[in-house]
Amino acid sequence: MALNLRQIEVFRAVMLTGSISGASQLLHVSQPAVSRLLSYTETKVGLALFERIKGRLYPTPEARLLFQEVEAVYRGVQRVNETVDDLVEKRAAALRICCSPSLSQTLLPRALALLSGRYPDVRIHLDTQNVAEMIDALLTQQFEMGVSIQPIEHPNLDCRPLYQSRMMVALPVGHRLAQRPALRVDELEGERLIGYGADTPLGVLLAAAFRQEGQELKPAVEVHHTHTACALVQAGAGVALVDGLSVSGRNWPYVVTRPLDPGTAITVCAVHSRFHPLSTLGRDLLSLLAEIERPASVPAEQATD
């Protein structure tokens, strides 16, 4: 049985609120009406969507999987409504951009500030995505362009390298290694390292750099974002491995950074669909990203290891 829109709406409301009463308040209908429609949906579909334990509803694995698809539909509806609003209000333009989380606090704010100066009426939506999410979001045109801290290879996406940024070691002020101009991998042995999961771009890159030097990377603390790593260093939790681009221009009191030798670097790339040309706003943002000065990075075509 195919679900109709009302059944999807009730299912989503129960998932969001966790109860029949919460769903009824969200939808402004009676609790019995919600309960009847939910039971009817489960019967017709032939799936138990919720377990009822002591008066509470607990979604089944099937319900959680279905909810992911339902949310994707609602995000699409939201984008349609936003587009309608733009047309009705006669806004000049709208631009949807996604980026790696670490770039959302350094590179993108600077570039988007310059873009907003050129186009005061522009409506910008910026979201953070990991690499897998970014690929899917760009392929489904949820965003016009993505900015990633690693190259993305996909036959339907155009990936343009912008900059290479050196990996750095973030140390507390006064640390015994803080006086060194640069630090080797072997000099970090015995330190309490703050690093990244093996499934993250930085985690993969750093693990390879350590293996190249005959060392094994064993972070004492794993995080997902460089700003979290720097905050831990600031609090005295250890020594962090961070990418220079993500910390350039940021003021971290009581934290100093030193280059990691050998010259391990990440490549920042702009990514967009091969089949949909960038808008004027997208092209201007791409130019700004390629031209904006960043003290901890150099253009990709001039970068050396």
Residues 280, 134 share a domain:
yes
* 153 Cα distance to chain centroid: 18
Number of domains in the chain: 3
- The C-alpha atoms of residue 71 and residue 97 are separated, in whole angstroms, by 20
In a domain, 172, yes or no: yes
Q: 270: which residues sit within 8 A by CB, 6+ positions away? A: 145, 146, 147, 159, 160, 162, 286, 289, 290
Q: What is the pLDDT of residue 250?
A: 66
Residues 244, 173 share a domain:
yes
The predicted model scores a pTM of: 0.63
Tokens of 220: 């004492």
Residues 126, 65 share a domain:
no
Residues 184, 39 share a domain:
no
What CATH number is associated with residue 133? 3.40.190.10
User: DSSP letters along 259-280, please?
Assistant: EEETT-EEEEEEEEESSSPPPH
Q: In which domain, by residue range, is 290 found?
A: 93-156+274-298
Q: What parts of the chain have a pLDDT lower than 50? A: 90, 294-305
Which of left, alpha, beta for 141 (phi over 0: left; psi -120 to 50: alpha)?
Answer: left
In a domain, 305, yes or no: no
Q: What is the pLDDT of residues 135-168, one digit of tens each?
A: 999 998 899 999 998 899 999 999 999 988 888 8
Tokens of 149: 């801290």
